[in-house]
Every structure is written in structure tokens, then in C-alpha cells.
Chains A and B, each alone.
Chain A
Amino acid sequence: MSHRAMVETVFDSIVATHHGEIFRYLRRLAWRASEADDLSQETFLRAYRAWGRLTPDANVRAWLFTIASNVYKNHVRSERRRQAAHATVRATRHELDLDGPEEEAMAGEMRSLTQAAIRRLPLKQRLAFTLRKLHELDYEAIGQSLECSPESARAHVFQALRKIRTTLNGHALPLTESTR
């Protein structure tokens, strides 16, 4: 088997193992499914080009989350520039809904509110929070993905929780369980 064929076989298995999760990550960050599609493709195409430089002992999952986070950050930056250039072009509320109307109806109020509160977080907190709470990465890996220390990754997550808590302050507390 040639060197290249070997590289491809291994990369195929990386796609098979991690694509679903990386797509979900980007789907949670992005407004639209089509955006997540483009972003996940870009993530893996970048990964493919950089693959040869990855050390054998690297944490592939954290590495992919790093690339995906950077791809998303760049995307947000260029979106901001684009929106600044076309200030009149605004996505309609319909376009911005994460889920279809049926799913939304089924979803709990608290879940939708929390989702909305997560969306309003500053970018770094949102990424750290999503990586920690929705993808359950450890702080070491999150720090690596966001190019900060594990401690500041932790601080971002806690700041995010405080902000979500404040955003939801005005809303009635669902009685999920009694306080101790």
C-alpha cells in the first residue's frame, strides 16, 4: 500500500469516527443547517491538508474541535463584515430558528430559552460552554481548542453559566426538582 493510500485510509476512518460529532458541534453554533454543512466540510478539508503534520500521539478529537472552532470564528468574523456591508440584509426570524416549527412546539420552554441564552453569549464563552456542556470535552482539550489555558477555559464556562442564569432570571423557574 502506498504512503498516500495509507494516509487516506486513516483519514477515512477519522471522518467516519468524528464527522457526526463535529457536524453537531457546528450545527449548534451555526444558524442554519446549510451553514453547518459548509463549515464541517471546511473543517475536514483543512484537517486533511494538515493531517500529515499531526504527531502520532495527538488527541485527534481535540484537534478537530480546534480546527472547527477556528473555522467557526473565521466564519463569524466574515459574517460580521458581510452584515456590516449589507446592513439592510437581515435574516428573518424564520431563517434564524434552529429547529422546525414542530420540533419547537415539542421542545420544552426552558430548553428553548436556554438555547436562546447560549446563542447570546460572547463568542469565546459560547464556544467554551458548548465544548464543555454539550460535547463534554475536558478543560485541557477545550483550552487546546480555544488556544487558552484550561483555567481560563473553565472561567469562560462559569461566566457563561452566570450569563445564562441572568438572562433567564425573569422567567419562572420550572419545577424540575425540589431544592434541597
Chain B
Amino acid sequence: MTSKPKVCVAIEPDLIAAATGEATPPAAERVDAHVAACFPCRDDFARYRAIDHAVGALRATLPPAGDAEAARQRLIARLADLTSRIVSYRVVPTPLGPILMARSEQGIALLEYLGRDGVAASRLFQMAGVDAQEAAAGLEPFEHELLDYLGGRRTRLDWPLDLRTARSDFQRAVMAATVAVPYGAVSSYTGIAAHLGKPAAVRAVAQALRHNPLPIVVPCHRIVGSGGDLVGYAGPRVDLKEHLLTMEGVPTVSARTPRIARRLLYHYETNPGREYCLPTCGDIAQRPIDLLFATREHAEAQGLVPCTTCHPELHPLSA
């Protein structure tokens, strides 16, 4: 290939620009003048024009619309999945010690009493498919309500919950039954198992609550042994359980293992008349705990009526 004349080499960038629609008007004029007189450059110009045309055709060639749409749908599904796995958490200092609080787009997903190892040891980081991010945004209202609750200024936590942190449908069912035990009341593992229609599953109920991912809001502290023992809470923290129950007005007695003071509580066992009793009504205080209430008001708020045999309304328990 023979080398080009200097003038042709010099004008080449402008020539390419002009042929592909990128030249400034003065440059385009220079190119026009040059190609009018120079045959090889005219050929070059035509070739670049042809390439530009072909590129224009390529630009107009779109992949099948279905491909893009299918890709978009898959993307949207993956984004939704990603979003649903994002969990923001925050450590809230409370009178019961630091509590890690986490929420997803669905609701509060985890409350966890932090131990000596702090956040690093949190269950949050052992959960598969969770994308944990520390962020206060979206958690403040829950934090305020939690502190109000622990300070005795609030008796309900009506939060949207994300129960995907539960381990099984059975655990979710146990949690749902536990949420139904109101403030100022106490039930037992036996009572919950009976309520679920699985009276033999007492130990499974206890296990499910031992791993309760949402203590306080799913009030597993209100569930005690069938004789009233405060067994197991947040590992060895029976003192927290006692604290929460005391706050709700449920009296406890310190024996070898702390237990609730059944003699000071109103008793309820499922009955057609929905009657609640004094602990002295028959042998009710010796039977496995179904539901106990700290006050008559707590019992009657649940739609229960005084027993027509023992008349708790005439002989109220002294506080």
C-alpha cells in the first residue's frame, strides 16, 4: 500500500468525522473541498459513509421485545427478593440491657437481648438469606414504643411482624397463640399446647418459645411451667422474665426456682360460661395452668365473667 499524501493524512480525522456526522461545519467544508479533488479520499469518504449507514441500521435493529421484557421481569423478581431480604437493625439501650431490634419491609423481624459479645454474636448474622444493614431509619417509632412499654407507660405493642425469622410453621403457630395472651395474664406451655389442639406437644411448645425471635412483643415471658415455675427465658435470664411479669402486676414468689404466686391470681379454665374463678375454687389451683389474670379487670377485659360458685366479684383477692 502506497503511503498517503501528507494533506490526506492531515484531513483524515475530519474526513471520518464528516462521513459519520460528527464534524463541525468548517471541518465539513474543508473535507468537501478536499474530496472533490482527491479520488482516494472520495473513496474513503464513501466507505465511511457506508459504515455509518450500516451502523444506523444496527442502531435501529432491536433485540426481540420478548427478550428485554423477560429480562425485565426477572430483574423485578430479583429486586423484590433482594428488598425482602434487607433487614435494618439497631441496638436499643433499655432498662433490660441492650436489645437488638431488626425490621424488614414486612415488619419487625427480630428482638434480641444482646449478651457480652454484643451485636457480633447476634442471630441476625446467622440467618440465611438475610442482608443485614445497620440503620436507624424506620426503627425509631418502634424503639420509642418499646421503651414506653418497658417503662410501664404502654401495655400493647401492635406491631407488624415478619415471622419469617421463625423456624417452622409450628413455631409460628405457637407464637400466634402466645400473642393472644394479654398483658397482665399468664398461660403455660401446657395451656398453649392444648390451645393448639396438640396437648402432647408441651415440650415442643417450650422449645419453640425458647427460640422465640420476637421476645417481649411475642410475650413468651407470660408463658410459664404448668405448675407456675418461671422456666427458661433468653437462656438463663429468668430474672428478665420475673421483671416483665412484675411490671404487668403478676406476683411472683422466690422459691428455689422463682414461680408465679398462683394464690394471688384469678384462674380461668376453658368453660362454656366463660367464668373465671378464685384460686380457691375447687382444686383449680392444683391443676395445670390454662390462663391466670393479675386483676379482675384484666380477666373481664377478655370478656370473662365472675364464677357463680366462688364469686370473685364478692371476694376479690387483695393486691
Contacts and interface: CB of A to CB of B under 8 A. Distances in A.
Contacts of B43: 173, 179
B115 interface: no
A73 interface: no
A176 B47 CA distance: 10
Interface in A1-55: 2-4, 8, 11, 15, 19-20, 23-24, 27-28, 33, 36-37, 40-41, 44-45, 48
A114 B45 contact: no
A96 interface: no
A77 interface: no
A165 B76 contact: no
Contacts of B46: 173, 177, 179
Contacts of B20: 133, 161
Given A114-B58, A165-B47, A180 B82 contact: no
Contacts of B86: 4
A148 interface: no
Contacts of A164: 51
A173 B67 contact: no
Interface residues of B, number: 44
Contact of A108 (B35, B54, B83, B137): B54
A44 B75 contact: yes
A111 B54 CA distance: 5
Nearest to B64: A33
Contacts of A40: 71, 75
Contacts of A44: 75, 79
Given A27-B67, A41-B75, A161 B48 contact: yes
B72 interface: yes
Interface string A112-148: 0111001000000000000001101000000000000
Centre residue among B36, B71, B76 by max chain A CB count within 10 A = B71
A37 B74 contact: yes
B50 interface: yes
B105 interface: yes
Given A27-B67, A33-B67, A180-B32, A45 B79 contact: yes
B186 to A, nearest CB: 36
A37 B51 CA distance: 28
Question: Would you call the interface of chain B mostly helix, strand, loop, or mixed?
Answer: helix
A101 interface: no
B151 interface: no
Contact of B59 (A4, A15, A133, A169): A133
Contacts of A3: 137-138
A76 interface: no
Contacts of A176: 49-50, 53
Contact of B54 (A48, A113, A158): A113
A11 B67 CA distance: 21
Given A19-B75, A24-B63, A133 B42 contact: no
B54 A110 contact: yes
A177 B54 contact: no
Contacts of B105: 4
A1 B86 CA distance: 17
Nearest to A113: B54
Centre residue among B17, B59, B105 by max chain A CB count within 10 A = B59
Interface in B16-74: 16-17, 20, 32, 35-36, 42-51, 53-55, 57-59, 61-64, 67-68, 70-72, 74
A111 B76 CA distance: 34
A80 interface: no
12 contacts: A2-B137, A3-B137, A11-B79, A19-B71, A41-B71, A111-B57, A114-B58, A165-B48, A165-B51, A168-B51, A176-B50, A180-B36
Interface of A: 2-4, 8, 11, 15, 19-20, 23-24, 27-28, 33, 36-37, 40-41, 44-45, 48, 107-108, 110-111, 113-115, 118, 133-134, 136, 158, 161-162, 164-165, 168-169, 173-174, 176-177, 179-180
